[in-house]
Amino acid sequence: MCACVRACIDLIHFIRAFDDDGTDGRRGLATQITVETVRLVRESDSGESTHEIMPLGEAIEAARAMGLDLVEVNGKASPPVCRAMDYERVRYDQKKRVKEQKKASAAAKRRDVIKELRLTAKIDAHDLNVKINGARKFLDAGHRVTFRILFKNSDGIALEKRPQRGAEIMDSVMGMLDDVEIVVKPKMVGPSHMTASVKRPSGKKK
């Protein structure tokens, strides 16, 4: 494992440690280190790690000389392993990554939610507009939307005419929606239903 990867893993483990124990985030800083000797890990200009065992006071001074904090990243080692780093910056970057990961996870969950809107074969313009406005809200929230047209005997539409009538309604629906991607093309599901599903294109939100 390269030195850069190992350094990142050490930092993540450290950040998780102080987050999990409910402290104020200062544990592991030089002021909290009680041992007399530490192993100071430093990165050279070429990106290689150097390990040097030295007195705690000397390690603190070395970190200060670089304008950084001395942070213990592995207290179980003998002697404990420390790094010179911008402690607050590391905390900020880690929390930012966690926040972005949670945001991405929430977006993925929204994409998995399918909202269904039911239409009738005799739907009028006003009701269709209401359904379209509802669909836009769902789409803008990141959900997929399925339109389902319900055919009834009372509609007076013959079985053989239902696919044509359904296609006409779906054409109107797609024409009223903008910036959508068709996930499932309009199709008859049995003799009494026609469905179609849409979503916002990836990376696009209103």
* Secondary structure (3-state) at 147: strand
* Residue 182 scores a pLDDT above 70: yes
**pLDDT tens column, 14-57:** 433 344 443 444 445 655 778 899 999 887 667 787 889 999 99
Is residue 77 located within the same domain as residue 8?
yes
Mean pLDDT of the chain: 82
CA–CA separation, 156 and 162 (whole Å): 10
pLDDT at 29: 62
Tell me the average pLDDT across 187-192.
94
Tell me the average pLDDT across 110-118.
81
Number of domains in the chain: 2
Domain boundary among 84, 105, 126: 105
* Residue 195 scores a pLDDT above 50: yes
pLDDT at 22: 38
In a domain, 206, yes or no: no
Is residue 19 located within the same domain as residue 76?
yes
Strands 114-120 and 144-150, bridge-based pairing: parallel
Please work out, in degrees rounded to the nearest 5, the angle formed at the alpha carbon of residue 27 by the alpha carbons of 22 and 29. Answer: 155
Q: 14 lies in which domain range?
A: 3-105
pLDDT at 7: 44
Tell me the average pLDDT across 151-169.
94
Least confident residue range of 57-66, 77-86, 96-105, 157-166: 96-105
pLDDT at 48: 80
pLDDT at 129: 95
CA–CA separation, 128 and 119 (whole Å): 8
Task: Write the CB contacts of 102 (distance below 8 Å, at least 6 apart in sequence).
Answer: none
Is residue 101 located within the same domain as residue 119?
no
Residue 60 sits in a domain whose CATH number is 3.10.20.80
